[in-house]
Structure 1
Amino acid sequence: MQQTRSLRALSPAAFGASVAMAMMGGASAPSLAQGTPEAAPAAASEAISLPQIDVGSTVPTSPANPLRGTTGLGRLQGPIQDIPQSVAVVPREVLQQQNTTTLEQALRNIPGITSTVGEGGGGVQGDQLRIRGFNAQNDIFSDGLRDFGSYSRDTFDTEDVAVFFGPSGITFGAGSVGGAVNLNSRMPFLGSLTAGEASGGSGSFFRGTADVNRQIGESSAVRLNVMGQTRSNIVERDHQDGTRFGFAPSVAFGLGTNVKLTLQYLYYEYDQTTDTGVPTITNPTTGQIVVPTEAGLRRANWYGSMNDRDKVTLNRVTARAEWNATDWLTFYNDTRASFLDRDFAYTILSCTAACATNFFRGSSFPANYTVSGASGPYSQSTMGLQNITTGVARFTTGSLRHELTAGLDAWYESTDRDNLMYSPARPGGNLWNPVQAFEYFPTVPSTAASATRNIDTTTVALFASDRIWFTPEISLLAGLRWSSFQTDYTAYGPGTPVTSLNSTTTAVDPRAALIYEPNPNLSFYASYSTSSSPPGNNFAVLPGQANFNNTQLDPERNTIYELGAKWTVLEQRLGLTASLFRIEKDNARTTDPLTGSTVATGDKQQNQGLELGAVGRITPQWLVSARYTYMDSEITEAGTVASAALVGNQVQFVPRNALALWTTYDLFPDQRYNLTVGGGVTYRSSVYLNNQNTAEVPDNFSLDAMVSHRIGPNWRAQFNIYNITNELNYDMLFTNRVVPSPGRSFVLSLSGTF
């Protein structure tokens, strides 16, 4: 029988409402501490630069040159310029110019990241990312804390988005093979702001946002971000309707003092159609696996039914405290509680040999597909708790200067899932002519042995690192993280015994880097770091992986070697970056595309390459965000006889070349007839969908543009057009299916700031 948890006894909606009321009701409370602000601690060769301030406003924003900004994480000190790791940031200004609304859209500015479509047996959609070709499903953070659960994230309360490339076990913990993504939220500040935006565009898209900040005391402020959105279609994808709503109140005490406390509550919900795209098909004549939309199938075809919905409700509260105890010692304490409820249904197609034969005979022959039983509906609740306590001490021993960072990271995630099934089973249809879009198929509780599932994951970790300056120019960073992982899994069905599984693993992940800073604007580094992915790490988001064999797997081990340089030029307006990297992955796992079961192949995989970036302002009027990635991936060693033939193949989902360019120019900025014009290109070379390298998706190319006009001191009108050439692209990929991207579309928006 399912156990009752006291934390779950409280309704998430009631929990969220009470938190929001408490936060806003406590806005008039006095600040935690008064006093004169202490100066920010010096970095290796200069003081940390303050955030950029918008002209005519007191709103703190992320700098156009990300190298002059900070990560916002207590456990990663100093400006990004000084961090010996490749870090790519999408500043708020770029997000605004592109009219970005989702995390997936924001990450198009960072090449080397691909999105994958929901996996079978797990029903996972939402933000499924692969960074440098490696799964980053569990590696999405906000404000440095885990963003529990799987869902599609909105950016209405996001200040900027950062990607930390490479295994980052010491900073982020389990997983983080290709890297980790962190969204920094908009937080209260001392000053006033009233801002709003209304947008409308293709597919009957309508969206409104509001951002209000008020200073309520000498060192306290409140802020509220609100969003509402609706659409009835996506260009070149049929029947893709959806609505979104969210609000995020926050309050801060002690701003500018030695003790600061920030509380934030996020309520977010959406109801949208799911889309698993089209299945890959084997050509019976050539034996080649092809994407049918490349062989004449209409790109807008959607094969779902009225059942196919993704309904999500998120209630999340975050508390972040910072205490500058002395001029050399600072403590950080970050805590999060999150409740995510999800009702989900989607359709996975299979095209048999008979289906494929008829498909390649032409549209006059019915290519009858079948519906996979792995795509049954489910309802799921995820609760997550996390606390990270960090201390940073700056001191000297003899002639050596130190920056010691140490802390404790503990988190708990619990997922309850109830599966449904179609009764009778869903029928198939004709690939050329889907007709089920307006049908509803009855469902009943599942009778499977795993109809009800409970997954509990507990992790406790200790981390410590010390950066030692031998001279003002040369320093060494060394540290490690010790982690203990425990996963408990139970499953049962009508008349079936309870299946109980558990996995307990420990891992140690070191990090070391040598840093050379000849001047405050230039740094070179050579770094080494690792991360570990324990068995059971993905049970909460991919419950189809849960079986006894998977609990006995050895952890995946991931190692990165990186050489890099960061250079700030043009009076600190522009940041240039370059890095050479090699990631080695041992005991790689593979997931069956239909069952979701995961097995350890024992294979060794390698991805090495080059990254180049230029982000900031070439002139005060000319903004640029340009990044290029070259990746050479390879399966270097087989762990089984069955996988021996894969040695030398490329790793799935890893493009060899990827580019993201966005640039704008302000014309006549001080005149009534001012304009900001710009545009960009995103490109990704072809990728293989499997390690056998037998299924390939062609290149992606999208050309976008924008123009905006400031109307007086407070208003701005903006027009964005995306995929101008209406290319057939694929942004969401999986082993046996892909989702075509939207076609040419536009958005017109009007915003005001007061």
Structure 2
Amino acid sequence: MSRRALLQSTASQAAITASLAVAISAGLQAQAMAQAPAPTAPVEVSPSLNLPVMDVSGQAPEPANTLQRPTGISRLPGTVQDTPQTINVIPRAIMEQQGVTTVDQALRNVPGITTSIGEGNGGVNGDSFRIRGFSAQNDVYVDGLRDFGSYTRDAFNLESVSVLKGPSGTTFGQNTVGGAINLQTRTPHLGNAYSGTLTTGMGPMGRGTIDINRQIGETSAVRLNIMGNHTQLVDRNGVSSGRWGIAPSFAVGLGTATTFTLDYLHMQDNRVPDFGVPTVTAPGSAIARPVTNYGVNRRTWYGWGLDRDDTTVDRVTARLQHRATDWLTIYNDTRVGFVNRNFATSVVSCGTAPNCVNALFDSNPRTVPMVQAGGAGNPFHQQTWGIQNVTTAVARFNTGPIRHEATAGLDVWVQNDQRTGYGLNPATRPTVSLFTGQYSSAGYSVVPGTGANVRETDQRYIGGFATNRMWLTPQISVVGGVRVSNYDIDYKTYGAGAATTALSSNQTFVDPRAALIFEPTPQQSYYFSYGRSTSPAGSFITTQPGTFNTGNQSLDPERNTVYELGAKFSLLNNRLGLYGALFRIEKEGAFVTDPLLGTTTQSGDDQRNQGVEIGVTGQITDAWAINANYTYMDSETTRSATAGTVGRRVQFVPRHAAALWTTYEAFRDTPYNVTFGGGFTWRDQVFLNNQNTAEVGANFSLDAVVSHRFGSRNQWRVAVNGYNLSNETNFDQLWANRVIPSSGRTVLFSLSAAY
């Protein structure tokens, strides 16, 4: 994007934001005057969160102690405290206090999660997470269903973000090594509610959201969420995002035995991608580090005018819940998703550029180090569509003195990806200074690709699962479960003048699960759990095409075993939750991806990660809320044919990570009310490869918020949020030979209203 186009886009977004401000204010006031809140029928408790200050419908708010919340997934009945694995929940209340706009921002509240960058050979970035050190890029679910495609997810339509750590293969299917991420959307509820938020500040940044819920019958309601956003990142020259989204939904049968919900999401995101700064090995050192350690400004961006990440997402979800009897409930959930993506980026490496490293460290005379983007970031167009249906039955019954909670079902999905690659004319990009980056694409054009530039993939999955929890006594129960899966993939490449290459794989695998649970009181839970998950070859082909090729199509699946010993407590009349766990993950036959070529082989490496996690969630007093978590991870490659790898730490796994967010409401229910809040996110140093020859230092971000409510019913809220207040040079996204610097000190202002 040219600078002129960027300025025009920024001006356009500012106009949109101003228009949204007028629309929100006028619309909310008109709705408030047009009707008084109507009495509502009794409402069935749902996993949706409504902030107490915004609750005008009579619907009971979710507890601040997230241990007392439902898991939000039909295949895991019960609450977070009942479930024998660590589940971190970031509720809507915290996301609104922090001014969260994307899922990756929400996940900064969860230590043990790192974010990686798209790899070479045409990989794409977007939401690419790692849980407890292991890839979870295909393990993002929305309301328990797969979210097809790779893109950056906005938070405007979310009630909560949950990270289910530990044994998840039985629940979700393939992959889920360290766990899975589940996003819970906002759905219609009985009663009427109208709210909106405007945000602006440094960057520049402008954002507007609207959330309207309206009851249209005794048991039916509609809801509409709208978002417009433009962001220019602080201290990252040229990196920006402009997106908008709309999410209407409809529900019937609310509060009855049969509930049907239909929702739709449309989002368009036009962003300038960021593939970060390269790492270099200084003379006399054995460890590569980011070039920002050696005088390169963190603002430096190595993209050019043809770089783009333009994404359109369309997703339709239908969910049916039927309480057939007092002991049997049936769920049937279906999703259809489409993701259309045009992508091009600039990937540079100082280590492969002639004389770049020598020039960087040669001070007499000083030579300007030069870098050049390679062909890995050449333009492509990718279309993804997928369909999934999950049918689940939950039965609660007794056999003699033994009480049962049995879950069984069928999970079926198909996904198709087609990618067409393009070239550049001229084919070779110009060199650019390592210190300044940013070069013009004048004189360059996108041209049709040559050779085998088309990649087409068909994936098919079917899995049957069954889990039974049996209470041997009122305090002691056991869980046993299994999922049998079949994964089939066909992949072919072709193009003008190129022969067609076809690859395929079909694998059947079994993932068991077991747990022993002791609950001496309803407020205490102690458990030991075991689970296994499987990653067959081709699992990551959507985001990393090089991971499926002639060399690995017949590889055995990657096997992963998880053990967890944990405890959960609810205190202070269930206001406050404490939890902790010891865990161990063992990975056999790990896949290894080349950081430059993107090709994947099965190294035979065995890896393990073990550690401890502790946390607190909820309210210490009615006015004082807290959400804190600490994770220690001891990772190691235990077997490998690669020299210098055994005994080394697993890449991207910090030893220590912690997050804290706490707020205090002073002078509540008075005109002088003020909410003070703040916290930090921190992770230790990490290595960027399994040989531990490249690293990035620790991250630390100090954040804070001050807000005030006003109006006749405190329906208005004004807030100031500060991020990275100590202006640290942090790196949120990592890869083997490059890292992406985070934003510098940022201050945002927001105004919101709720009727």
Same fold (TM over 0.5): yes
The equivalent position to 2:510 in structure 1, one of 491, 494, 508, is: 508
After the TM superposition, which of the residue ranges 64-73 and 514-523 deviates more from structure 2?
Answer: 64-73
Question: How far apart, in 1, do the equivalents of 2:573 and 2:157 lie?
Answer: 30
Cα distance in 2 for partners of 1:567, 1:272 equals 44
The CA deviation at 1:455 is 0.5
Alpha-carbon offset, residue 53 of structure 1:
6.5
**1:453-468 to 2 correspondences below 5 Å:** 453-468=455-470
Q: Please give the alpha-carbon distance, in whole angstroms, between the structure 2 residues aligned to 1:38 and 1:299.
A: 51
What are structure 2's unaligned runs of at least 5 residues?
1-40
Other structure's SS at 1:107 match = helix
Contact 1:38 1:327 in 2 (8 A): no
Counterpart position of 2:683: 684
Write the letter of the residue equivalent to 1:441: Y
Cross-structure match for 1:275: 274
Q: Secondary structure at the match of 2:592?
A: strand
1:699 is aligned to 698
**What is the alpha-carbon distance in structure 2 between the residues aligned to residue 66 and residue 122 of structure 1?**
40
Say whether residues 1:54 and 2:55 are aligned partners.
no
Alignment partners' CA distance in 2, 1:440 and 1:110: 46
Q: Does 1:546 align with 2:544?
A: no
* Residue 312 of structure 1: aligned partner: 311
2:43 touches 2:254 (CA, 8 Å); kept in 1?
no
Alignment of 1:579 onto 2:581: yes
- Counting only pairs closer than 5 Å after superposition, residues 393-542 of structure 1 correspond to structure 2 as 393-424=395-426, 425-437=428-440, 439=442, 441-449=444-452, 451-542=453-544
Are 1:322 and 2:321 counterparts? yes
1:257–1:140 distance in 2 versus 1, CA, 3 Å: same
Deviation at 1:441, TM superposition (A): 2.8
CA contact (8 A) 1:349 1:369 kept: yes
Read off the aligned partner of 2:331 and give its amino acid letter.
Y
Distance 2:361 2:509 in 1: 51
Q: Secondary structure at the match of 1:217?
A: coil
Matched residue type, 1:106: A
CA–CA separation in structure 1 for the residues paired with 2:60 and 2:103? 21
**Change over 3 Å in CA distance of 1:60–1:377 after alignment to 2:** farther
d(CA) in 1 for partners of 2:665 and 2:649? 43
Question: 1:60: Cα distance to partner?
Answer: 5.5
Q: Which amino acid aligns with 2:405?
A: E
SS of equivalent residue, structure 2 residue 356 = helix
Deviations 1:416-470 (A, max 9, x none): 1000111212122211222405647312121132x00101100000000100001
Q: 3-state DSSP class of the match of 1:602?
A: coil
| Structure 1 residues 573 and 411, CA gap change in structure 2 (3 angstroms) | same
The 3 A distance-change label for structure 1 pair 390 and 128 is: same
Aligned length: 707
| Partner Cα separation in structure 1 for residue 154 and residue 694 of structure 2 | 32
| Cα offsets for 1:98-144 (capped at 9, x unmatched) | 00000010000000100111111133100010111101110000000
Could you tell me which residue of structure 1 aligns to residue 263 of structure 2? 264
**d(CA) in 2 for partners of 1:373 and 1:428?**
13
Q: Give yes or no for contact 1:64–1:617 (8 Å, CA) kept in 2.
A: yes
Deviates more, 1:239-248 or 1:647-656: 239-248
| TM-aligned CA distance change 1:478 to 1:600, over 3 Å | same
Partner residue in 1 for 2:84: 84
**1:169 alignment partner in structure 2:** 169
Which residue in 2 is equivalent to 1:236? 235
Give the secondary-structure state (helix, strand or coil) at the position aligned to 1:94: helix
Q: Give the structure 1 partner of residue 302 of structure 2.
A: 303
Contact 1:123 1:345 survives alignment (8 Å): no
Aligned residue for 1:225? 225
Cross-structure match for 2:119: 119
Distance 1:214 1:515, change over 3 A: same
Provide the C-alpha distance between the structure 1 equivalents of 2:48 and 2:415, rounded to a whole number of angstroms: 36
| Matched AA of 1:391 | A
Query: CA contact under 8 A between 2:306 and 2:441: conserved in structure 1?
Result: no
Check 1:39–1:269 CA distance in 2 against 1; reply closer, same or farther (3 A cut).
closer
Q: Which residue does the alignment assign to 2:628? A: 626
Who is 1:155 aligned against?
Answer: 155
In the alignment, which residue of structure 2 is the partner of 1:749? Answer: 750
| Residue 44 (structure 1) aligns with | none
2:118 and 2:543 in contact (8 A); partners too = no
In 1, Cα distance between equivalents of 2:647 and 2:563: 21
Q: Following TM superposition, by how much is the alpha carbon of 1:753 offset from its aligned partner in structure 2, in angstroms? A: 0.2
Q: Shift in Å at residue 167 of structure 1?
A: 3.7
Paired residue type of 2:371: Y
More off after superposition, 435-444 vs 525-534:
435-444
C-alpha distance in 2, partners of 1:525/1:437? 59
- Structure 1 residues 355 and 61: CA distance shift in structure 2, 3 A: farther
Structure 1 range deviating more: 355-364 or 209-218: 355-364
Structure-1 residue corresponding to 2:94 = 94
Deviation at 1:287? 4.2
Letter in 1 for 2:432: G
Aligned to 2:648: 649
Distance 1:234 1:547 in 2: 37
The residue type paired with residue 606 of structure 1 is R
1:210 corresponds in structure 2 to 210
Deviations 1:520-576 (A, max 9, x none): 111000000010001111112211223112211110001111000010011111111
Worse-superposed segment, 534-543 or 617-626: 534-543
Aligned pairs for 1:361-400 within 5 A: 361-362=362-363, 364-400=366-402
Counterpart CA distance in 1 for 2:724 and 2:112 is: 19
Identity rate of aligned residues, in percent?
Answer: 50
Secondary structure of 1:551's counterpart equals coil
Give a deviation string over 1:210-261, Cα, whole Å, max 9, x none: 0000000010000000000113x21110011221100000000000111100
Q: Aligned equivalents of 1:700 and 1:265: distance in 2?
A: 37
- State the distance in 2 between where 1:677 and 1:65 align: 20
The answer (yes or no) to whether the contact 2:49–2:159 under 8 Å persists in 1 is: no
Q: Cα gap change, 1:427/1:101 in structure 2, threshold over 3 Å: closer, same or farther?
A: same
Tell me the residue number matched to 1:4. Answer: none
**How many angstroms does 1:343 deviate by?**
0.3
Q: Distance in 1 between matches of 2:122 and 2:245?
A: 26
- Structure 2: distance between partners of 1:438 and 1:79: 54
The corresponding residue for 1:9 is none
Cα 1:328–1:51, aligned 2, differ >3 Å: closer, same or farther?
A: farther
Root-mean-square deviation over aligned CA pairs = 1.6
Aligned to 2:737: 736
Q: Deviations over 1:164-183 (max 9, x none)?
A: 01241000111101110000
In 2: Cα distance, 1:248 partner to 1:462 partner: 31
Shift of 1:54: 1.7
Counterpart Cα distance in 2 of 1:198 and 1:742: 21
Provide structure 1 residue ranges, at least 5 long, that are not aligned to the other structure. 1-35, 41-47
Offset from partner CA, 1:305-346 (integer Å, 9 cap, x none): 011110000010000000000000110000000010000010
Give the match's secondary structure for 2:647. Answer: coil
Distance 1:598 1:619, change over 3 A: same
Aligned partner of 2:590 in structure 1 is 588
- Rate the CA distance shift 1:164–1:523 in 2: closer, same or farther, 3 A: same
Distance in 2 (CA, whole Å) between partners of 1:611 and 1:682 is 15
Aligned to 1:6: none
